[in-house]
C-alpha cells in the first residue's frame, strides 16, 4: 500500500473484499482476515466500509477487530517474529529466549524495531510443544530455537 492512499481508495479495496465474502454465514472474521492480508493491518478507514456492507455500526466492527489479538491497527515491520510464551516452551527456556530477542531488537512485545524491519509478537502455543521452544518467522514454524539459532534468524532478516 502506498503511504498516500486516500480513504476513498482504501474503501474501494475493502469494498471488493466484502463483496466477495458477504455471502458466508458470519462473514466478519473472514473479511477482517482478508483486509489484514491485503494491507498488513486493519486501516482505520476500513471499519466504516465493512460496517456499511454488513449493516453494522462502525463501533461494532471496531469492537470485534479490537477483541482479537491477530488484528493490528498499525502496519507491522517487514518481518514478524513470534515467540511462544506458553508453558511447554517455558519449560525449555522460552523466557530466556524472549528476553534475548527483546534485548537484541531493542523492542518489547508487539513493538517494531526503529528501522521498521522486525515486529516481535508473543504467541501462546504453536502446537510445537514436543519441539520447544518454538517460534514463527514470517509464517514459517521453527522448533527447538536456541539463542544461537535466533541470532542466525535475526541476522538473516536483517541482511
Partner 1 sequence: MTVKIYVPLDSGSVALGADEVATAIAATAAKRGEDVQIVRNGSFGMYWLEPMVEVETSRGRLAYGPVAVEDVDSLFDAGFLNGSDHKRYLGHTQDIPFLKAQTRLTFQRCGIIDPVSLDDYRANDGLKGLENALKMTSEDIVKAVTDSGLRGRGGAGFPTGIKWNTVRQAPGDQKYIVCNADEGDSGTFADRMIMEGEPFVLIEGMIIAGLATGATKGYVYTRSEYPDAIRIMNEAIEVARANKLLGPKVLGSDYAFDMEVRMGAGAYVCGEETSLLNSMEGKRGVVRAKPPLPALEGFMARPTVVNNVISLCSVPVILEKGAEYYRDFGMGRSRGTIPIQIAGNVKHGGLYETAFGLTLGEIVDQIGGGTASGRPVKAVQVGGPLGAYFPRELFDTPFDYEAFAKADGLIGHAGVVVFDDSVDMMKQARFAMEFCAIESCGKCTPCRIGSTRGTEVVDKIARGEDPEMQKELLADLCETMKFGSLCALGGFTPYPVMSALTHFPDDFRPHALDIAAE
Q: Which residues pair with 121 in a beta bridge?
A: 82
What mask, x for binding partner 1 by CB under 8 A, covers residues 57 to 96?
------xx--xxxxx--------------xxxxxxx--x-
CA dist 121 and 132 (Å) reads 17
Cis peptide before 133 (omega within 30 of 0): yes
Task: Please tell me whether residue 52 binds partner 1 under the rule CB under 8 A.
Answer: no
CA dist 100 and 106 (Å) reads 10
Among the residue ranges 6-14, 112-120, 133-141, 148-156, the one whose residues contact partner 1 (CB under 8 A): 133-141
The CA-to-CA distance between both ends of the chain, in Å, stands at 23
Q: What is the contact surface with partner 1 in residues (CB under 8 A)?
A: 25-30, 32-33, 54, 63-64, 67-71, 86-92, 95, 98-99, 102, 108-109, 123-132, 134, 136, 139, 141-144
Amino acid at each position: 500500500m502506498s503511504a498516500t492512499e486516500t480513504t476513498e481508495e482504501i474503501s474501494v479495496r475493502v469494498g471488493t473484499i466484502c463483496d466477495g465474502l458477504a455471502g458466508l454465514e458470519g462473514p466478519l472474521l473472514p473479511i477482517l482476515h482478508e483486509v489484514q492480508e491485503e494491507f498488513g493491518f486493519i486501516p482505520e478507514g476500513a471499519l466504516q466500509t465493512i460496517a456499511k456492507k454488513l449493516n453494522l455500526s462502525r463501533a461494532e466492527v471496531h469492537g470485534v477487530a479490537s477483541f482479537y489479538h491477530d488484528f493490528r491497527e498499525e502496519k507491522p515491520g517487514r518481518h514478524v517474529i513470534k515467540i511462544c510464551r506458553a508453558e511447554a516452551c517455558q519449560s525449555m527456556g522460552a523466557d530466556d529466549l524472549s528476553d534475548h530477542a527483546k534485548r537484541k531488537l531493542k523492542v518489547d512485545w508487539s513493538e517494531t524495531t526503529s528501522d521498521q524491519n522486525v515486529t516481535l509478537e508473543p504467541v501462546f502455543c504453536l502446537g510445537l510443544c514436543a519441539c520447544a521452544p518454538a517460534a514463527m518467522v514470517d509464517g514459517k514454524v521453527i522448533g527447538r530455537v536456541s539463542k544461537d539459532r535466533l541470532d542466525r534468524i535475526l541476522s538473516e532478516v536483517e541482511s
